[in-house]
Amino acid sequence: MKPLSLLCAAWAALAMLTSAEVTVDNDVLGKSLGGWKKKDGSAAQYPLSGSDYCTYKPEVSPTPEGGIFISVRIDHVRGWMSNNDHATLEITVSGTGVITSAKSSIAIQGVSIASDVILGTNEAGKEITGADRAVQIGTDLVSNLTAKLLRENIVEAGRVTFPAAIRHNYNRLYQALRVDGEAVPAYAAVQAPPPPPAKPVGADASPATTAATTPSSTPATTSTGTPPATPEKPKEEPPADPPPPVAKPVPGNAPLEINPYAPSGGGEINPGG
């Protein structure tokens, strides 16, 4: 009977874990922002750093992983003679109530400034809590958004402090998260990735270095996977024909030389004599 009771208890605990529901307690969120007293009970307005901001009730939708995606609209109230500035804060929460990513964007005078998607990162071999990750993501989000806002040469006080108002809503929203109706425990552990495997001794040389120093017995291959064609040897031209031999004179057959006639030493020839 005892093993059976332990098995039933394990199944009950597993069922409770898999059916955990992550929600946002709008009552807690609204109270932290001064109450949902604006826009027919759908928004809360509050002062911050000398400017007024208005936060609307968040839109929540489930994620395939069992968590939730939260989108919050935040306005910078500039007065009835001016158009308000707008911002959005988007947060993804896991099924255990841990924030996994965040993103924000601001629209000011027709200029849209969007932050990068901020993801939680873990130091190798170290476990961090859900609260630690929430602080890390919130800090990186505001830093990234502020850096991009400063490039636009924004000088109005309420606009310069808009990222701080977004961080204020981020913190209040995290405090309003609930898992099965209970507040998210600050010590909820986030599993860190395992450390990379150690290199074996003597394996410091990179493959590129080894390939460069070790002669290869196989021909290199091209990007298509086929070995390159062997270049053809230049064809040897046949030797030129030797010049024709020069005929040598044969003894006794020397060419006849005809010299002009020369009279002999007998004297002149007299005509008629």
Residues paired with 69 in a beta bridge: 61, 92
- Each residue's pLDDT expressed in tens, for the chain with a length of 273 residues: 555 665 555 555 454 445 579 999 999 999 999 999 999 999 999 999 999 999 999 999 999 999 999 999 999 999 878 899 999 999 999 999 999 999 999 999 889 999 999 997 755 545 567 788 999 999 999 999 999 998 988 888 899 999 999 999 999 999 999 999 998 877 655 544 455 566 666 555 454 444 444 555 555 555 455 555 666 666 666 666 666 665 555 555 555 454 554 555 555 545 544
HSE of 189 in the Cβ direction (CA atoms, 13 Å)?
A: 5
**Tokens found for residue 173:** 């929203």
pLDDT for 128: 62
DSSP string, 25-61: -HHHHHHHTT-S-BTTTTEEEEEETTEEEEEEPPEEE
Query: What region, left, alpha or beta, does residue 50 occupy, with left being phi > 0 and alpha being psi -120 to 50 degrees?
Result: left
Q: How far is the CA of 11 from the CAs of 86, 114, 119, in angstroms? A: 48, 45, 33
HSE of 212 in the Cβ direction (CA atoms, 13 Å)?
A: 5
